[in-house]
Structure 1
């Protein structure tokens, strides 16, 4: 479809950010949400590693340190829900959208295996921790590129 030509001598003003095409402003917004997601994924991985360390302190050094392991879990357990929510404004699709829900489910299973289970079921607490580590590592690795500086196309 042809548009009418502008009269000679009339300068076009550059539209304000709120008036620009969604693609221009949206790319920055999407990039910011993806960077927050990637930071949250890396932080979640670090928290999993710290949890294993705190468990080791409680098992091998002093059993009183297990309280730190129990308390710290409550500090980061909903980080995965935050990552899932960030996937929508960040337009993150595929596994990186859904793996955080798996992390949330496995974190809930951590509580269940310790608090409600009997018999050999509490032994799955350690297996579940391995799964948490693997998925957290995967999401952090796949989203890490969003934290790296963008290369210019010069």
Structure 2
């Protein structure tokens, strides 16, 4: 197994763990301490670029097909997450997609981690 595949695998599992932590932080903010929203907004900056790096690693690791597209889709979902809050927060119907996109990110992160 080459460096690209190993790095992709590690990053896929790390991304999945970060998604779980991010949802947990959102839950703490929603059901307990509203000051945790700042942690929620800050923590995402640590791992937001992971799917883009995963996408680039597919070329180094010779990973093709569904896994390559999945990593790109995960990156696009992360971009959509930022857009729902930073651009469309005043349009409640679009902003309401934020938790739905989070569910898709969770599902996609599981799929990416399991495929490695």
TM-score, scaled relative to structure 1:
0.72
Within the candidate set 3, 12, 15, 1:44 is matched to 15
Q: How much does 1:32 deviate?
A: 2.3
Within the candidate set 89, 93, 106, 2:60 is matched to 89
Is it true that 1:106 corresponds to 2:93 in the alignment? no
Q: How much does 1:31 deviate?
A: 2.2
User: What is the alpha-carbon root mean square deviation over aligned residues?
Assistant: 0.9
Any gaps of 5 or more consecutive residues in structure 2? none
CA distance in 2, matches of 1:119, 1:91: 41
Question: In structure 1, the residue corresponding to 2:98 is in which secondary structure?
Answer: helix
In structure 1, the partner of 2:26 is 55
Q: How much does 1:114 deviate?
A: 1.2
Q: How much does 1:111 deviate?
A: 0.9
1:62-81 correspondence runs (5 A): 62-81=33-52
Any gaps of 5 or more consecutive residues in structure 1? 1-29, 144-154
TM-score, scaled relative to structure 2:
0.94
Q: How much does 1:140 deviate?
A: 0.2
